[in-house]
């Protein structure tokens, strides 16, 4: 992982400051807020990397909440400052493009640590679920899992329309009816969605598509009534 100093050197706030109106008093604010945001993210990634068990998770928990608030506040101030910096649109877009590209590298590292803890450190994950950061990341995964299941249901309807109303016998049959092909068959964690077609009490056959969060065990999507 890159050091904070190296990372911040790539954030192009020097370009923002030099390209802005020399009389603008927003230049140092944008630079300061951008640096604060990056540092908060970097510290978050570094802190998560040290979580190995329930004890280290408990120690990290209050620190994560503080860093989450620091990052949120700095990001808000950054946008406010940039809105008042006098720059040509293409200059601002180019400078911010570099900034967000490098900020994304850190957020990717944070997500990777979230995945590591959720997959291999269940006790630690249970502790950190109560933090704002983990709550947001968990919700994002679950929303994507639900969206993926809903999207596959459209593929089910397309398959049935072309196969005399019959449901697909297996998940792989839906790849040809999805814009992203086989990629659509996997949930955000990389596991295949579950597919089941069964008649209800009314005699009507319905198809269900769902997945299970490997972190929480929650069923996401449209599981059969007796599977919820």
Task: Calculate ∠ Cα 209-215-218, nearest 5°.
Answer: 40
Same domain, 118 and 146: no
Same domain, 28 and 122: yes
Over range 171-192, report the average pLDDT. Answer: 96
Local confidence band at 128 (pLDDT 50, 70, 90 cut-offs): very high
In this predicted model, which residue has the larger pLDDT, 31 or 19? 31
Among 130, 153, 182, where does a domain finish? 130
Task: Calculate ∠ Cα 107-112-115, nearest 5°.
Answer: 130
In this predicted model, which residue has the larger pLDDT, 103 or 94? 103
Among 107, 130, 153, where does a domain finish? 130
Sorted by sequence, the CB contacts under 8 Å of residue 44 that are 6+ apart come out as 64, 67, 68, 71, 110, 133
**Strand, coil or helix: 6:** helix
Decide: pTM greater than 0.75.
yes
Same domain, 20 and 109: yes
- As a whole number of angstroms, the distance between CA 55 and CA 58 comes to 5
Over range 180-189, report the average pLDDT. Answer: 96
Determine the structural domain holding residue 119 and report its residue range.
4-130
How many domains is the chain built from? 2
pLDDT exceeds 60 at position 50: yes
What percent of the chain lies above the pLDDT cut of 70? 82
Q: What mean pLDDT is reported for the chain?
A: 85
Distances (CA, A) of 218 to 92, 137, 187, 197, 202: 43, 15, 13, 21, 28
Among 130, 145, 171, where does a domain finish? 130
Same domain, 106 and 163: no
In this prediction, residue 22 carries a pLDDT of 43
Supply the DSSP symbol for 183: G
- CB-CB contact of 192 with 212 (8 Å): no
What percent of the chain lies above the pLDDT cut of 90? 67
Same domain, 159 and 223: yes
Determine which of 4-18, 31-45, 49-63, 182-196 has the lowest per-residue pLDDT on average.
4-18
Of the ranges 5-14, 27-36, 79-88, 127-136, which is most confident?
127-136
Same domain, 152 and 187: yes
In this prediction, residue 82 carries a pLDDT of 74
Same domain, 37 and 73: yes
Same domain, 101 and 144: no
Over range 112-133, report the average pLDDT. Answer: 96
Same domain, 126 and 152: no
- As a whole number of angstroms, the distance between CA 119 and CA 121 comes to 6
Over range 28-40, report the average pLDDT. Answer: 83
pLDDT exceeds 60 at position 2: no
Q: Among positive and negative, which fits the CA dihedral 136, 138, 139, 141?
A: positive
In this prediction, residue 35 carries a pLDDT of 87
Listed residue (137, 112, 117) closest to 56, CA to CA? 117
């Amino acid at each position: 992982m890159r050091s904070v100093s190296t990372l911040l050197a790539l954030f192009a706030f020097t370009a923002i400051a030099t390209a802005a109106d020399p009389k603008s008093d927003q230049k140092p604010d944008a630079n300061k807020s951008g640096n604060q945001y990056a540092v908060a993210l970097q510290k978050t990634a570094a802190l998560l990397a040290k979580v190995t068990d329930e004890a280290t998770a408990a120690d990290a928990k209050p620190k994560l909440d503080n860093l989450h608030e620091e990052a949120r506040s700095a990001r808000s101030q950054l946008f406010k400052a940039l809105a008042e910096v006098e720059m040509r649109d293409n200059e601002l877009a180019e400078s911010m493009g570099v900034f967000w590209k490098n900020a994304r590298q850190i957020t990717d590292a944070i997500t990777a640590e979230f995945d590591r803890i959720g997959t291999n450190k269940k006790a630690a994950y249970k502790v950190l679920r109560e933090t704002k950061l983990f709550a947001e990341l968990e919700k994002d995964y679950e929303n994507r899992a639900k969206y993926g299941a809903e999207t596959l249901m459209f593929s089910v309807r397309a398959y049935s329309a072309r196969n005399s109303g019959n449901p697909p016998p297996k998940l792989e049959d839906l790849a040809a009816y999805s814009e992203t092909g086989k990629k659509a068959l996997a949930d955000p964690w990389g596991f295949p969605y579950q597919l089941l077609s069964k008649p209800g009490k009314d005699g009507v056959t319905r198809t269900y598509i769902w997945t299970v969060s490997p972190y929480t065990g929650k069923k996401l999507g449209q599981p059969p009534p007796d599977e919820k």
